[in-house]
Amino acid sequence: MPVNLRLVGLLAVATVGCNGRVISFSLPPSGPPEDAGGSFVRDAELAMPADLPMTCQGPLSNVTLMLPCAIGMSPLFATECYLSGMVDRSRPAIGFISPLEEMSRRLYEPWDLAGFVITPSGVTPDATAFDLAKVEGTAIFYEVDPVQRSFTGRLQKLTVSWTSDAGDTITCGATDAPFWAVPGNFL
């Protein structure tokens, strides 16, 4: 049976099996259905993690990136992500512009995070403010909806660095983890 017909059957079973409620599915990291050898399992959106643990060096202990991140309104689609345990929650720890239209046309392709436009963001672990300096690694997006302002995907070899005015640096990283964002109430 072709993969697309299996998907229709799976959705029909999911709809009937869930008292008529439609469930949203996201593809696994193995790639699109045609690359999965005709056999794949889709995870319910509810399985997306609520945080992404990060290992840090510098004046910040290990923290978590709280998920989902939030995506602002069109046309910028500014994306804001926050860290747990920050004293100053008035600005995001990580901010960047998400080119949602282009992302939706390039699903399952690796994206170099260094190519994303960084927006003003930073962390304040104590009384010292650190500004976002760089974001490196790779993102692979499985679902992107420019209208609903959302995406799901994975981050690979993520490294995030913040610097203070005094030149101190905080660097945090994660090796391979799910990553997702939903609509936020901001531009």
pLDDT tens, per residue, the chain with 187 residues: 333 333 333 333 333 333 333 333 343 444 444 443 333 333 444 478 999 999 998 877 778 899 999 999 999 999 999 988 776 667 899 999 999 999 999 999 999 999 999 998 998 877 788 999 999 999 999 999 999 999 999 999 999 999 998 899 999 999 999 999 999 998 8
Residues 143 and 82 in one domain: yes
d(CA 124, CA 120): 13
Neighbouring CB atoms inside 10 A of 154's CB total 18
Residues 97 and 132 in one domain: yes
SS3 33: helix
55: CB partners within 8 A, 6+ apart: 62, 172, 173, 174
Residues 41 and 59 in one domain: no
Residues 168 and 96 in one domain: yes
What local confidence, expressed as pLDDT, does residue 176 receive? 92
Residues 105 and 152 in one domain: yes
First to last CA, the chain: 45
Which residues span the domain enclosing 15?
A: 1-47
The percent of the chain in helix, strand and coil, each rounded to the nearest 5, is 15, 45, 40
Contact (Cβ atoms closer than 8 angstroms) between residue 83 and residue 67: no
Residues 85 and 124 in one domain: yes
Residues 64 and 81 in one domain: yes
Residues 36 and 87 in one domain: no
Residues 32 and 57 in one domain: no
Q: Read out DSSP for 125-187?
A: SSSS-EEEEEEEEEEEEEEEETTTTEEEEEEEEEEEEEEETTS-EEEEEEEEEEEEEEE-S--
d(CA 87, CA 55): 19
Residues 43 and 64 in one domain: no
Residues 125 and 159 in one domain: yes
The pair of structure tokens assigned to 72 is 């602002």
Residues 15 and 88 in one domain: no
SS3 32: coil
Q: Which residues pair with 136 in a beta bridge?
A: 159
| Whole-prediction pTM | 0.73
Phi, psi of 9 (to 5 degrees): -65, -40
- In the chain, the number of structural domains is 2
